[in-house]
């Protein structure tokens, strides 16, 4: 019997298992810093500067009415005609200053000056208009004259003022026009009112008080 022979079979050893590797990706951590005091201060200053700039722009560019003032007022003459119905002969000379306060040109149509007694208008005069450049002024002369105007409604008060020797009148100067702001025409208006007390005996103004309306 054949003897059992040992047979050796060649084989390749199995590769030993490699240890598993785990890769962990770490993202950088951004630490949020609290806004510092200087940051708050800087933002506050910038905001305040913007508000001031806008306010200044509105103040300088917003259209405003012209400034009207009475530079001179002079009584030429006054006389009360004695009749059944008292009448007035009266003449005033005025110099009105019109000042354009805006940064745009001003075209005014006319200057109207009226005179009244105890709230009632007695007469008015209208002068020609003109053109004013930005931030410019102009002087306009006007003469108010009343020849033989009968005073009907307030004749009792007129007689009392004549007895005192002083008569008070109201004058109103008014300017209307258009302000040329860029491509727009903006209507504007300016007024000034004066109380004028004249002495009938001395033919002079004893007191006057003017203020814008």
Predicted local confidence at residue 37, as pLDDT? 72
Alpha carbon distance 141, 196 (integer Å): 17
Quote the longest CA-to-CA distance of the chain: 183
**Minimal CA–CA distance to 198: which of 46, 93, 60, 101?**
93
For 19-51, the pLDDT digits (tens) are 555 656 555 555 556 667 787 788 888 888 888
Predicted local confidence at residue 98, as pLDDT? 92
Is residue 169 within 8 Å of 149, Cβ to Cβ? Answer: no
Residues 6+ away with beta carbon under 8 Å from 192? 68, 69, 70, 96, 172, 173, 210, 211, 212, 213
**Higher-scoring residue by pLDDT: 55, 147:** 147
Q: Mean of the pLDDT values across residues 181-203?
A: 85
- The pair of three-digit structure tokens given for residue 93, joined into one six-digit string: 């000379």
Is the per-residue pLDDT at 12 higher than 90?
Answer: no
Alpha carbon distance 102, 62 (integer Å): 8
**Higher-scoring residue by pLDDT: 40, 12:** 40
Q: Indicate the fold that domain 67-212 takes in CATH.
A: Immunoglobulin-like (2.60.40)
- The domain ranges of the chain are 67-212
């Amino acid at each position: 019997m054949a003897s059992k022979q040992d047979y050796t079979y060649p084989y390749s050893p199995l590769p030993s298992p490699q240890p598993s590797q785990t890769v962990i990706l770490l993202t950088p951590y951004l630490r949020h810093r609290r806004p510092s005091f200087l940051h708050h201060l800087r933002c506050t200053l910038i905001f305040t500067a913007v508000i001031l700039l806008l306010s200044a722009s509105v103040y300088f560019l917003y259209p405003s009415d012209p400034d009207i003032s009475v530079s001179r007022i002079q009584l030429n003459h006054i006389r009360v005609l004695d009749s059944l119905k008292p009448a007035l002969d009266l003449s005033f000379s005025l110099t009105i200053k019109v000042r354009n306060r805006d940064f745009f040109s001003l075209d005014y149509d006319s200057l109207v000056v009226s005179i009244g007694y105890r709230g009632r208008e007695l007469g008015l005069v209208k002068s020609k208009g003109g053109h004013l450049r930005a931030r410019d002024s102009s002087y306009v002369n006007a003469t108010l004259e009343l020849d033989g105007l009968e005073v009907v409604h307030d004749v009792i008060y007129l007689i009392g003022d004549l007895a005192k020797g002083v008569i008070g009148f109201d004058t109103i100067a008014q300017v209307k026009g258009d302000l040329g702001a860029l491509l727009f025409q903006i209507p504007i208006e300016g007024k000034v009112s004066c109380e004028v007390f004249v002495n009938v005996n001395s033919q002079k103004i004893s007191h006057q008080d003017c203020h814008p309306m």
